[in-house]
């Protein structure tokens, strides 16, 4: 999946929540925010995802890789 670097401003509480949720999910805050933004956009009807199955598979693969990395760290 292609990525694009952007600069965002978040209030302290939102950033703290994102960091905590990302850590629990074994993801970087950037990846977690990207996933959350995509989910919220779809939930609010911003438009259909081009390939929902591929996005879901990519999310599952990312989660599996993060879990494996966490296990490897002990």
Give me the DSSP letters along the chain. -----------HHHHHHHHHHHHHHTS-HHHHHHHHHHHHHHHTTS---S-HHHHHHHHHHHHHHHHHHHHHH-
Report pLDDT for 57. 77
What does the mean pLDDT of the chain come to? 87
Check pLDDT > 70 for residue 49: no
- This prediction's pTM: 0.60
């Amino acid at each position: 999946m292609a990525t694009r670097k952007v600069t965002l401003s978040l209030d302290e509480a939102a950033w703290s929540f994102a960091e905590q949720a990302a850590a629990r999910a074994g993801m970087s805050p950037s990846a977690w925010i990207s996933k959350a933004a995509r989910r919220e956009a779809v939930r609010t009807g911003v438009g259909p995802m081009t390939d929902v199955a591929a996005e879901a598979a990519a999310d599952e693969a990312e989660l599996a890789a993060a879990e494996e990395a966490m296990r490897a760290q002990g």
